């Protein structure tokens, strides 16, 4: 049955950073049932065994799930000894794991719920695969992720993208039409306090969770702005946030700028419209910003590559246990004029589909890459539904670039390496964007079409 579902899901393959969530920490007060329900754990086991590209050993997976049970009990302060699995065959290992699950629920005595134990075991199993695209997803995160992929409101907050650096938290982007934009927050503002609490010592998750909250509730954000001697305080009311997949604008000197945030459904059409609009305005060079793009749907990647490269060129090769090795090539021919120089901005948040797009542009000599090494998270995954609304992202295929280069775990090295330093951030200077514009100016000058600017940036 899982194989049938996987085949149907192939039409919506997702190539993106898998989200491995943490086990819920809230403790329930239920009494353990006489017969514990470990069905979700066994559903995850079957999916990984039958669908994962690496064909994992089910006994090893159950051993990892047992480790997850131990960790969940330990975090709750429950002292228990769960013996290792002795069985070497799957049937025996299943029986033994069920016994360990029953034991874990009994000793938890309400301090850890049955659902929390299931989630802990499932998460540990998925994490044991050690790849970027296999992970257990809680019901809440799965619902948010699906809304984002469909360009719907994915969360309730203020509308910013965080950029953590060396224990500091900068605003990387302020999304248009959001409370953050209306309040006056700007990129490169450094968040120093939230609702009176200093961000010093916080994690990225801490900061994000404090900024997010129920619709209509206020949050006070204090920022240190470049060039301002004293911090600025903003009282902002939270709203449902829709993160735009594509934004574009014309920069000085006829430089077209497109920020491509994610390969969501329909995002390729938005890229097409952006290119056509900028070309109608007389674009002379194009900056494609793939920084912090986590990937998305493979079909959208194919369509965007068609717009930027001539027909008949390989984009990537996919190797799966079901369909073998296949190479995707461009089909329709470019929308972007081929005489228009192209520079692509990348960083450590550029992952999966965006890495493959950047690699294809680099390997075919169509675009110059500027920034830092990419994430190295390049696999194809399918997200399967699980009981209770949870999900499991499973890597079903491995990807290589058009020249056979493996990016998973390695990343893609840009042609021009530019680090966004703390000094740059504190001065409010996007050194990567500035270098990208310089590269376009250089290429235009080489083509006898020098870039004329006023010097105002």
Q: What is the pLDDT of residue 30?
A: 35
Q: What is the pLDDT of residue 19?
A: 35
CA distance 347 to 416: 12
Q: What is the pLDDT of residue 35?
A: 63
pLDDT in tens, the chain (457 residues): 333 333 333 334 555 444 333 333 332 333 344 569 999 999 999 999 999 999 999 999 999 999 999 999 999 999 889 999 999 999 999 999 999 999 999 999 999 999 999 999 999 999 999 999 999 999 988 887 776 666 555 578 999 999 999 999 999 999 999 999 999 999 999 999 999 999 999 999 999 999 999 999 999 999 999 999 999 999 999 999 988 999 999 999 999 999 999 999 999 999 999 999 999 999 999 999 999 999 999 999 999 999 999 999 999 999 998 889 999 999 998 999 999 999 999 999 999 999 999 999 999 999 999 999 999 999 999 999 999 999 999 999 999 999 999 999 999 999 999 999 999 999 999 999 999 999 999 999 988 887 765 443 3
Which residues are within 8 A (CB) of 355 and not within 5 positions of it... i.e. 6 or more apart? 295, 346, 374, 375, 376, 377, 378, 407, 411, 412
Q: What is the pLDDT of residue 82?
A: 94
Let me know how long the chain is.
457
Which residues are within 8 A (CB) of 403 and not within 5 positions of it... i.e. 6 or more apart? 363
Q: What is the pLDDT of residue 447?
A: 82
Q: What is the pLDDT of residue 213?
A: 92
pTM, to two decimals? 0.83
Q: Which two tokens stand for residue 315?
A: 């984009």
């Amino acid at each position: 049955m899982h194989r049938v579902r996987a085949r149907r899901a192939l039409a919506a393959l997702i190539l993106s950073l898998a989200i491995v969530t943490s086990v819920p920490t809230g403790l329930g007060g239920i009494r353990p049932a006489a017969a514990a329900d470990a069905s979700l754990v066994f559903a995850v086991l079957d999916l990984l065994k039958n669908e994962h590209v690496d064909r994992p050993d089910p006994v090893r997976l159950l051993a990892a799930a047992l480790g997850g049970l131990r960790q969940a009990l330990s975090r709750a302060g429950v002292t228990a000894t769960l013996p290792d699995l002795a069985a070497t065959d799957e049937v025996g290992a299943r029986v033994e794991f069920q016994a360990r699950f029953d034991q874990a629920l009994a000793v938890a005595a309400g301090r850890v719920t049955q659902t929390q134990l299931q989630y802990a075991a499932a998460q540990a199993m998925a994490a044991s695969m050690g790849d970027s695209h296999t992970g257990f997803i809680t019901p809440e995160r799965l619902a948010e992720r699906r809304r984002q992929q469909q360009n719907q409101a994915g969360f309730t907050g203020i509308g910013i993208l965080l950029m953590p650096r060396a224990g500091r938290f900068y605003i990387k982007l302020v999304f248009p039409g959001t409370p953050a934009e209306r309040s006056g927050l700007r990129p490169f503002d450094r968040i120093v306090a939230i609702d009176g609490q200093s961000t010093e010592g916080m994690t990225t998750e801490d900061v994000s969770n404090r900024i997010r909250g129920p619709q209509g509730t206020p949050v006070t954000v204090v920022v240190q702005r470049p060039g301002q001697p004293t911090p600025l305080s903003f009282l902002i009311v939270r709203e449902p946030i829709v993160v735009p997949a594509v934004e574009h604008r014309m920069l000085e000197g006829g430089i077209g700028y497109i920020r491509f945030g994610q390969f969501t459904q329909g995002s390729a059409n938005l890229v097409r419209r952006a290119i056509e609009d900028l070309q109608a305005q007389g674009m002379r060079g194009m900056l494609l910003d793939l920084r912090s793009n986590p990937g998305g749907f493979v079909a959208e990647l194919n369509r965007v590559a068609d717009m930027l490269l001539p027909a008949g060129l390989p984009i990537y090769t996919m190797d799966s246990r079901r369909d073998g090795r296949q190479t995707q090539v461009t089909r329709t021919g470019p929308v972007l004029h081929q005489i228009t120089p192209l520079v692509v901005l990348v960083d450590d948040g550029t992952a999966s589909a965006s890495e493959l797009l950047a690699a294809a542009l680099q390997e075919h000599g169509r675009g110059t890459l500027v920034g830092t090494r990419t994430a190295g998270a390049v696999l194809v995954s399918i997200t399967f539904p699980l009981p209770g609304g949870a999900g499991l992202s499973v890597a079903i295929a491995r990807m290589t670039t058009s020249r056979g280069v493996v990016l998973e775990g390695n990343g893609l090295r840009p042609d021009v390496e530019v680090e966004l330093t703390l000094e740059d951030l504190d001065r409010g200077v996007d050194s990567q964007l500035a270098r990208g514009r310089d590269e376009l100016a250089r290429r235009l000058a080489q083509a006898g079409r020098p870039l004329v600017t006023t010097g105002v940036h």
